[in-house]
Amino acid sequence: MSTSMNRRNWLKSSALFAGGLGFSSTLSINYAQASQQVAARLYAPYDDEEALLSGMPKLKARISSNENPFGPSKKAKEALMGEIDTSFRYGRESKTEFSQLLADQFELTETEETRWGNRPTQVMLGAGSTELLLAASIAYGQNGGKILSAEPTYMSLIRRAQSLGAEWDTVPLTKDYVHDLDRLANAVSSDHSLVYICNPNNPTGTVCDPDELRAFCKEVSKKKPVFIDEAYIDYTADPKKYSMADLVAEGYDVIVTRTFSKLHAFAGLRIGYTLAQPEAIEKMSKYSNSAGNISSPSAAAAIASFKDTAYQEYAKEMNQKSKDFLIKTLTDANYDYIPSVTNFMLFPLQSNSEQFRQDMLKQGVSVRSWSFSDQEWCRVSIGTMEDMQYFAEAFNKLA
């Protein structure tokens, strides 16, 4: 079965699942229909890849999905295999252990009265951050919700909220393609249900000044919940400094979501988590199966990977080497680029971005196209050195 069909079917089934968790029948039907439309928009590139590659050689370099090609770590794989023999049981122990590990790591303190049995109430697990973004989109997007964010940014939560009828207000990025926090703060109104910030931002790869973002969150969260999508935070020079997770421990109405799909290389293993106040977790958990969608082998592997800081540094080092090669390829061809702290890079094109994407694909290299700020753009995921060499060969034919 094709990748795109798997993704579409998952999104369709998630709509039916959400409907079974408390939607009215009318809302369930509308949401299911809207989700199918969203899926068509989200995964069109995957369908197009398959169509273009029909009868062509296999992809040489898949550098369009921001995956980490250097993992998972050896310790994560050992933990994964070690859990197989007992995977006939529900993995309650490993998922509870993982939740508690996160609570301890981020210094989330709770009393026995605030816990769900033996699981922390400020931690919510999910099968990757997609499930968690979906839960937040329903919790804050239904019943006349209105989301405020920068533009461009990652659209998963926003598109799903729009499928429920939510409105979307935007503030453009600065001239350096960073979140304009002052303008965002001034744009917050009583009509907004959620403020969404992807930091580091996708597709630009830029990151907010941590002190400025922390001050923003402290002030704005007094008015509205602030959702910080930290999918790429592990690639920053100092993840603890750049993360807003400490604000959750301090009691602010800040929601931090992370995924293991990037630095930890779990894109296919599906692990993500949200840190938030118990009230926010309870609100979102109505629209998610939480840890129930995570396999016990994946949870065991996540625990091992979370502790394997040596591997994390290795993956960052390898990512930087490939990124340096990409930068040299672009500069040698007299192309500019947006400096990125992530495992992808965005650069402006001198031609139509969609045509460029298709031309690259015909040479066995998949990339992503964008259009914003009256400019055509290409986003390249950082792959292995071999991937980047394939990119350079194809790019130099078109540049």
Q: In the prediction, which pLDDT does 111 show?
A: 45
Least Cα distance to 366 among 67, 155, 39 occurs for 67
Q: In the prediction, which pLDDT does 104 show?
A: 95
Is CATH 3.90.1150.10 what the domain over 57-70+310-398 is classified as, yes or no?
yes
Q: In the prediction, which pLDDT does 119 show?
A: 62
Four-point Cα dihedral 72, 206, 254, 112, nearest 10: 20
Q: What angle do CA 41, 47, 49 make, to 5 degrees?
A: 125
**pTM reported for the whole predicted model:** 0.85
Cα–Cα distance for residue pair 203/344, rounded to 1 Å: 8
Q: What single letter denotes the amino acid at residue 277?
A: Q
Using DSSP, state whether 274 is helix, strand or coil.
strand
CB atoms < 10 A from the CB of 349, how many? 19
Instruction: Please report, for the chain, the start and end positions of each structural domain, with discontinuous segments joined by +.
Output: 1-42, 57-70+310-398, 74-307
Question: Taking the chain (399 residues) in consecutive chunks of 10 residues, what is each chunk's mean pLDDT?
Answer: 39 40 37 41 46 64 96 96 92 92 89 51 94 97 97 97 97 98 98 98 98 98 98 97 97 98 96 97 92 91 97 98 98 98 97 96 96 96 98 95
Residue 166 corresponds to which tokens in the numbers above? 């939510």
Contact 309, 294 (CB under 8 A): no
Cα–Cα distance for residue pair 367/238, rounded to 1 Å: 28
The CATH T-level fold of domain 74-307 is Aspartate Aminotransferase; domain 2 (3.40.640)
E-only strand ranges, the chain: 61-62, 123-126, 146-151, 167-172, 194-198, 226-229, 254-259, 272-275, 344-348, 365-366, 368-372, 375-381
DSSP class of 334: T
Positive or negative torsion for Cα 283, 285, 131, 99: positive
Q: In the prediction, which pLDDT does 399 show?
A: 85
Buried b (16+ CB within 10 A) or exposed e, 69-83: bbbbbebbeebbeeb
Assess whether the previous peptide bond of 278 is cis (omega < 30° from 0). Answer: no
DSSP class of 366: E
Place of tokens 């533009």: 151
